[in-house]
Structure 1
Amino acid sequence: MSFQMYVPTRTLFGVGELNNLHSQKMPGKKAMIVISNGKSTRSNYYLDRTEEQLNMAGVETVLFDKVEANPLKSTVMDGSLFARENNCDFIVALGGGSVMDASKAMAIMSTNDGDLWDYVSSGTGKGKAIANTPLPIVAITTTAGTGSETDYGAVITNAETKEKTGIVHESLFPYLAIVDPELMTTVPPKFTAYQGFDALFHSVEGYISNKANVMSDMVGITAIENVSRNLERAVKDGNDLEAREKIAFGNYLSGIEMCVGSTSSQHSLEHAMSAYHQDLPHGAGLIILSKAYFTFFIERNVCHEKFIKMAKAMGMEDAKEPMDFINALTKLQEACGVSDLKMSDYGIKPEEFKMMAENAMSTMGFLFTCDRISLTIEDCISIYEKSYK
């Protein structure tokens, strides 16, 4: 029953909690607010509301609004320079997983010299120790997908080397997180689905990984139940606050799962896809891979009982066989309108599979060590092939 758990972030969870930001103790006096390069944060007044709350707390703000989906190292470096030039002493990440991940990386580079890849430990990263404590982060999530408001990692793409990988450090736990489902009601249906499946797969991968333990299992199966049983409702009615709140809870738990357990190589395989194809949403890539990926483990008799338990958590109460999980997963993807996603729609070609498999293993090989059985390059290529349409 051994496990290790360290999740120090103070979290305000629930509908309307953004309104309580001003009453919290702030980690500094001048914040760089980081948002995406899209329009939704402004048009839905989330930025205005956040600025108002920070001003009420006596915090001066400046805005960095250039973060793209699958955030780039170059953007991180631009943001960290902006924070330095404006003498910011903390960062407010207002947005989804991309914004929160980019903000964590900016927090590192706002106080440390050199290039972000100097501090990345995998792939072509130099693996240098982070000498100076990163800027504190207040994470205000507007999506339910990555659990980045909970955990201590950031995933960034290096466009020069075609690497998409994580940087992990205990100082990257947000100082404060606000998880307000009210901010998620404006997420369009397809992105609600992509993000929801990302949250789901964090816990599914963790549940069958070799890092699983009693704590991660408890957290993971609860996350799986909350996300899977409410995602269709949120996709069909974005204003369904009850569904949004339960998915947000599942996503928050999936972040904790990554702290007390681990994800697995499915994430490595997807990161290789979006490293070469920047426009591929991470959640969409995971959906494309998911049935072939999990079937691979079922066919090799890996933790059959856990697959049955996950199928039951997803609503298939009479599940008796491991493949019932795949059936439940297929049914959910069909209900959410994402069962027909195609690699080819994003420009991915079969001749890239070997290159992507090698990229996944060299760039994020550490997640392959979390699998209960070892995948070969040929196994990875086969999973890509079976996922291809």
Structure 2
Amino acid sequence: MSYMMYAPTRVLFGAGQLNHLHEHAMPGRKALLVISSGKSVRENGALERTQSELSAAGVQSVLFDQVQANPLKSTIMAGAEAARNNDCDFVVALGGGSVMDAAKIIAMMAPNEGDLWDFVSGGTGKGQIPPNAPLPVVCITTTAGTGSEVDQWGVVNNEETREKIGCGGLDSLFPVLAVVDPELMASVPPRYTAYQGFDALFHSTEVYVGKMANLMSDMVALTAIENVGRYLERAVKDGGDLEARQHMAFANTMSGYSMVTGCCTSEHSLEHAMSAYHPQLPHGAGLIMISLAYYQHFVDAGCCPYRFVRMARALGMEEAKKPQDFITALKLLQEKCGVAGLKMSDYGFTPEEFAGIAQNAQETMGGLFFADPCDLPQDDCVKILEKSYR
């Protein structure tokens, strides 16, 4: 029943909201504008529009365009150096979850000397507290996947140690302002719309069945699940369906709030280890690959049966009466969205890696295992990976 709620981000939600960015007070006068190393925000005009909005607000901007799909520690350090060298006093993220994650951790590192892993808890991190407050952050999300625009975490890959870990967690890393404009998401290709939508879904399903669930997290998690169940298929099939895009954008932000009010479970630990081993794997795709076996483990263990029934109903199976119905509803949604046939082998995975991946998940992000609805030993993690492999 108990919960702690702290969500200080001002959110501008709705179609066309990017056009109003200049009307709001900026937290500084010179921004490091962080985008991905890809072309999308350049080609769809979002970058030019954002630069224009910042200029109209009286803000200079310096472009940093090096962020990968799975942000690397070396990229974070380069971004922090760019912010320092250009005397930037805040950071603006324009992109999806990877860009927003990277921007937040760049903002943390810019005023602090040392290596990022000095301030990481878990794995080989030293667990130190950054002595200086991070730069303020503004997030403009162009995808509906992570909810990173309203939380205080960023996930980073350490390419030297093959660790992918959530970093930050400071109250001062909550973005001061977030723009959630579904128009910016209309150009996301169907496959990535599906990957991102399932990422948003699993944030909320994990929170809903996890031990940290509470009245507040239940409310936002179920709302996110319901919106994904009703609108993800439509958004995948027609990217220009603005109603579907708006509801998926809302589900995305709710999934962020679900993590603020609750806690993800080991599904995310396992996938982070998977994409630490194979960084070319899109995060959402990895989650989809293991999801059926992962949730089947807890259904078979008899964990929180009513919650699985409730999630099945939220996904649209109104007549659901047994926990297994959630697995059926989840599988059906994956089929409708064209992602049921994803293969680990297409990304270079081999079964010989599974024991190492399972160990990596528990050593680097073992804290999420404590939120699982019941125990998930390392041997069972290996079995989940084995059942998911093709």
TM class by smaller structure: over 0.9
Partner of 2:61 in structure 1?
A: 61
2:276 aligned residue: 275
Hey, what does 1:379 align to over in structure 2? 380
Residue 340 of structure 1, CA deviation = 0.2
In 2, Cα distance between equivalents of 1:258 and 1:8 = 14
Counterpart of 2:3? 3
CA offsets per residue over residues 270-312 of structure 1, 9 Å max, x none? Answer: 0000001010000000000000000000000001101111111
Distance 2:142 2:166 in 1: 21
Give the CA deviation at 1:130.
1.4
Post-superposition CA distance 1:109-129 (Å, at most 9, x none) = 101010000000111000001
Gaps of 5+ in 1: none
**3-state DSSP of counterpart to 1:28:** coil
Query: Deviations 1:60-93 (Å, cap 9, x if unpaired)?
Result: 1110000000100000000000010000000000
Q: Distance in 1 between matches of 2:58 and 2:100?
A: 23
CA distance in 2, matches of 1:307, 1:264: 15
Q: CA deviation at 1:194?
A: 0.1
The aligned residue for residue 348 of structure 2 is 347
CA–CA distance in structure 2, aligned partners of residues 138 and 231 of structure 1: 26
- Structure 2 distance, partners of 1:358, 1:101, is 24
What's the offset of the Cα at 1:131? 1.0
Q: Which amino acid aligns with 1:59?
A: V
Q: Which residue of 1 aligns with 2:362?
A: 361
1-structure distance, mates of 2:2, 2:212: 11
Tell me, in whole angstroms, the C-alpha distance in 1 between the residues paired with 2:378 and 2:28: 47
Secondary structure, counterpart of 1:31 in structure 2: strand
> Counterpart in 1 of 2:40?
40
Matched, 1:116 2:109: no
Structure 2 letter corresponding to 1:291: L
> How far 1:38 sits from its partner (Å)?
0.3
What secondary structure is seen at the aligned counterpart in 2 of 1:65? strand
Secondary structure of 2:371's counterpart equals coil
**Aligned counterparts, 1:186-225, within 5 A:** 186-225=187-226
Q: Which residue identity does 2:271 align to in structure 1?
A: E
1:373 Cα offset (Å): 1.2
Partner of 1:298: 299
Query: Quick one: distance in 2 between partners of 1:248 and 1:204?
Result: 17
User: Helix, strand or coil for the counterpart of 1:230?
Assistant: helix
- Structure 1 residue 249: Cα displacement: 0.4
Q: Give the CA deviation at 1:339.
A: 0.0
- Secondary structure of the corresponding residue to residue 293 of structure 2: helix
Query: 2 CA distance for matches of 1:10 and 1:19?
Result: 16
More divergent stretch after superposition (338-347 vs 166-175): 166-175
In the alignment, structure 1 residue 16 sits paired with structure 2 residue 16: yes
> Residue type of the partner of 1:121?
S
- TM-superposed CA distance for 1:374, in Å, is 1.4
Alpha-carbon distance between aligned partners in 1 of 2:282 and 2:160, rounded to the nearest angstrom: 20
Alignment correspondent of 1:170: 171
Q: Secondary structure at the match of 1:157?
A: strand
1:228 and 2:229 matched: yes
Deviations 1:337-382 (CA, angstroms, capped at 9, x unpaired):
0000010010000000000000000000010011121111101000
Per-residue Cα deviation, 1:15-69 (whole angstroms, up to 9, x for no partner) = 0000000000000000010000000010001000000000000001110000000
Q: Which residue of 1 aligns with 2:247?
A: 246
Distance 1:211 1:226 in 2: 22
Distance in 2 between the 1:326 and 1:71 partners?
31
Give the aligned partner of residue 71 of structure 1.
Answer: 71
Aligned counterparts of 1:72 and 1:189: Cα–Cα separation in 2: 26
Give secondary structure in 1 for the equivalent of 2:148.
coil
Matched with 2:144 is 144
Structure 2 counterpart SS, 1:290? helix
Aligned match of 1:288: 289
For 1:155 and 1:221, the matched residues in 2 are separated by 24
In 1: Cα distance, 2:329 partner to 2:323 partner: 10
Is the aligned partner of 1:130 residue 2:161?
Answer: no
3-state SS, counterpart of residue 272 of structure 1: helix
Distance 1:202 1:380 in 2: 19
SS in 2 for 1:140: strand
- How much has 1:171 moved relative to structure 2? 1.2
Q: How many pairs were matched up?
A: 389
Check if 1:307 corresponds to 2:308. Answer: yes
Q: Distance in 1 between matches of 2:2 and 2:351?
A: 43
AA aligned to 1:73 is K
Provide the rounded CA distance (Å) in 2 between the counterparts of 1:131 and 1:245: 40
- RMSD in angstroms over aligned alpha carbons? 0.5
Q: Deviations over 1:108-154 (max 9, x none)?
A: 11010100000001110000011111010000000000000011101
Q: In the alignment, residue 298 of structure 2 is paired with which amino acid?
A: F
Separation of aligned partners in 1, 2:197 and 2:258: 15
TM-score w.r.t. length of structure 1 = 0.99
TM normalised by structure 2 equals 0.99
